[in-house]
A = this chain, B = another copy of it.
Amino acid sequence: MSMMTAAQYEESLRKLDLVVYMFGERIDNVVDNPIIRPSMNAVAMTYELAHKPEYRDLMTATSHLTGERINRFTHIHQCREDLVKKSKMGRLLGRKTGCCFQRCVGMDALNALSIVTYDMDQALGTEYNPRFLAYLEMVQRGDLVCDGAMTDPKGDRSLPPHKQPDPDMFLRVVEKTAEGIVVRGAKAHQTGAVNSHEIIVMPTLTMREADGDYAVSFALPADAKGITYIMGRQSCDTRKMENGKLDQGNIRFGGHEALVVFDDVFVPWDRVFMCGETEFSGILVEKFASYHRQSYACKVGVGDVLIGAAQTAAEFNGAERASHIRDKIIEMNQLNETLYCGCIACAAEGAVEPSGTYCVQTLLANVHKQNVTRFPYEISRLAQDIAGGLMVTLPSEADYRSETVGPLIEKYFRTREGVSTEARMRILRLIENLTLGTAAVGYLTESMHGAGSPQAQRIMIARQVNMNEKKRAARNLCGIEETDGKNQD
């Protein structure tokens, strides 16, 4: 089997024995839990579309290891066009699900490791790359979902890992044996964790020499002994447990994030991809971050949904021809397509690494992500402007279904002919979902902090820009002598 169907994927999850907690209780049946299931549905879409001929080019690729057709989410980018297709796949899935579909983080981890394990082996004579490739082949053949786990809790942010009062605030190696290593710690904000077959752990920042135990990367089955998942809660999460789907807005899809705790978990050596090589921790973080900042291509697709919803709401209100409405829709598109330019440009300007993997252009990937921390908020504000206040004062579906007050709602919330009150309620609930509800978690706050908070991108931009070239250009044009000023290059 090289590519699972959505149904096979769901089955495969049922076989896992995950330790998952939510609202203080352990969840027996993760797959059918009403709050988690929509997030599983979103991941399943990555399988479903891969089997549709019209999306085959974007959703699948040919493995450079096996030559077989594989899901692009398990692929190592072999050319610039692969990078461009990755951005387009992200937009497509964002539009199809209206939320985070969770699978890119694993793809980005695989690609980053394909580069850094190779570089380490070249520099240090280690044998991480062959190990990694064997692991990769297993992932490709099994068409697995991998969680890419990077963010540690970090504790007191003014202290390095080894100086923390509690040494576990960054995930670390607590023991090494002939068979493998034992790790302890936690990874926070793990998107799609309980929908994953595998967890790939990476360090969260550049480690100094004294933090050698923290420079560790490895992969584990999601249900390895000692791993506990604690679900994060989201705005409006419990609406998924209510009767009726209407108030959810997005009636089928959602995302989730979890705290993943590693309580002295054993990792065999053949799944260890970095162990103490602090000097390569920084580049692993940077490569993963660059790929993952590109991945925010998905928000363009979610933006498509929100723009479509706002346009629909305007049409339902009979306001779509008002010039200010048209202008706001244009502005939403302007912002959304500017984001699209970013994820296309950083891909089109990508380059090959020594390992043969293609990587996005780091500067532009950071510029793209920085815009993602801003524009969805403005798109969201404009959507709320167009939607009107009813979006937040609408009675519940239960009221609408009630025999007593349902008819009053039906009567008083009708607008133009041909539009049902229910359709109007549905589109407003979708906008609420995307701008305040569960999907706002992904479209807004995750756009802000996922793949690094805004300041992380600004630091990278400052590092990546060639300021000397710019200064030389300016000095040359105004005739400043070469010897003037001490900060010259």
Q: How far is the CA of A316 from the CA of B488 in the complex (A)?
A: 11
Known pairs A166-B414, A251-B478, A408-B186; A394 contacts B473 (CB<8 A): no
**Which B residues are CB-close (under 8 A) to A378?**
377
- Does chain B have a CB within 8 A of A440? yes
CB distance from A156 to the nearest CB of B (A): 5
Q: A24-B401, A404-B21 are in contact. Are A446 and B389 (CB under 8 A)?
A: yes
Looking across the interface, which residue of chain B has its beta carbon closest to that of A229? Answer: B405
When the two chains form their complex, are residues B474 and A393 in contact, meaning their CB atoms are under 8 A apart? no
B305 touches A470 (CB 8 A): yes
B251 touches A189 (CB 8 A): no
Query: A322: which B residues are within 8 A, CB to CB?
Result: 455
* A337–B363 CB distance below 8 A: yes
Taking the complex as formed, is A469 at the interface, i.e. its CB lies under 8 A from any CB of chain B? Answer: yes
Q: Complex Cα distance A487/B415, Å?
A: 14
Across the interface, which residues of B come within 8 angstroms of A479, CB to CB? 245-246, 251, 426
B-facing residues in A292-321 (Cβ within 8 Å): 304-309, 311-312, 315-320
Among the listed B96, B169, B461, B477, which residue makes an inter-chain contact with A473, where contact means beta carbons less than 8 Å apart?
B96
A232 at the interface (CB under 8 A from B): yes
With both chains docked as a complex, state the minimum distance between the C-beta of A111 and any C-beta of chain B, in angstroms: 20
Which parts of A170-204 form the interface with B (CB within 8 Å)? 186, 188-189
- Within 8 Å by CB of A24, from B166, B340, B399, B441, lies B399
Q: Which one of B155, B318, B323, B392 contacts A257 once the chains associate, using CB atoms below 8 Å?
A: B392
Q: Which residues of the partner chain B approach A247 to less than 8 Å between Cβ atoms?
A: 233
Cα(A394)–Cα(B487), bound, Å: 23
Which residues of B sit under 8 angstroms from A374, Cβ to Cβ? 381
The contact of A367 among B338, B370, B481, by CB within 8 Å, is: B338
Stretch at the interface among A69-77, A124-132, A234-242: A234-242
A237 nearest CB across to chain B (Å): 9
Do A381 and B392 touch across chains, with their CB atoms under 8 A apart?
no
Q: Is the CB of B473 within 8 A of A308?
A: yes
Beta-carbon nearest neighbor of A426 in chain B = B478
Q: Is A450 in the interface zone, CB < 8 Å from B?
A: yes
Q: Mark A439-483, 1 if CB is under 8 A from B, else 0.
A: 011001110111001110010011001010111111101111100
Q: How far is the CB of A294 from chain B (nearest CB, A)?
A: 12
Cβ-defined contact, B426 with A480, below 8 A? yes
A437 contacts chain B at the CB level, 8 A cutoff = yes
User: Is A271 positioned at the interface, with any CB of B under 8 Å from its CB?
Assistant: no
Q: Do residues A249 and B478 form an inter-chain contact, with CB atoms below 8 A? A: yes
Partner-contacting stretch, out of A2-10, A216-224, A417-425? A417-425
B481:A390 contact, CB within 8 angstroms: no
Residues of A384-422 at the interface with B, using a CB-CB cut-off of 8 Å, are 384-385, 388-396, 398-399, 401-402, 404-406, 408-409, 411-420
B259 lies within 8 A of A395 (CB): yes
Please, which residues of chain B bring their CB within 8 A of the CB of A53? none
- Distance (whole angstroms) from the CB of A472 to the closest CB of chain B: 7
A256 nearest CB neighbor, chain B only: B393
- For A23, the chain B residues whose CB sits under 8 A away are 396, 398-399
Asked if B233 and A389 make an inter-chain contact with CB atoms under 8 angstroms apart, the answer reads no
Tell me if A89 is interfacial: C-beta within 8 Å of chain B. no
Closest B residue by C-beta to A241: B238
Contacts of A398 in B (CB 8 A): 23-25
Residues of B within 8 A of A169 (CB): 412, 414
Q: Contact between B333 and A344 (Cβ–Cβ < 8 Å)?
A: no
A364 interface contact, C-beta 8 A: yes
Q: Are B250 and A477 in contact (CB under 8 A)?
A: yes
Which residue of B is nearest A457, CB measured? B334
Interface residue A56 (Cβ < 8 Å from any Cβ of B)? no
**Contact of B423 with A480 in the complex, beta carbons under 8 Å:** yes
Looking at A115-123, A140-148, A276-284, A345-353, the stretch in contact with chain B turns out to be A345-353
- Residues in chain B near residue A344, CB distance under 8 A: 341, 344-345, 348-349, 364
Compute how far the CA of A390 lies from the CA of B417 in the bound complex, rounded to whole angstroms: 45
Q: Which of B157, B405, B437 contacts A318 (CB 8 A)?
A: B157
A-B contact pairs, 8 of them (CB 8 A): A230-B405, A259-B412, A307-B470, A308-B475, A323-B324, A345-B348, A381-B444, A392-B441
Known: A169-B412, A389-B450, A427-B478; 4 extra A-B contacts, CB below 8 A, are A154-B415, A232-B393, A309-B478, A316-B485
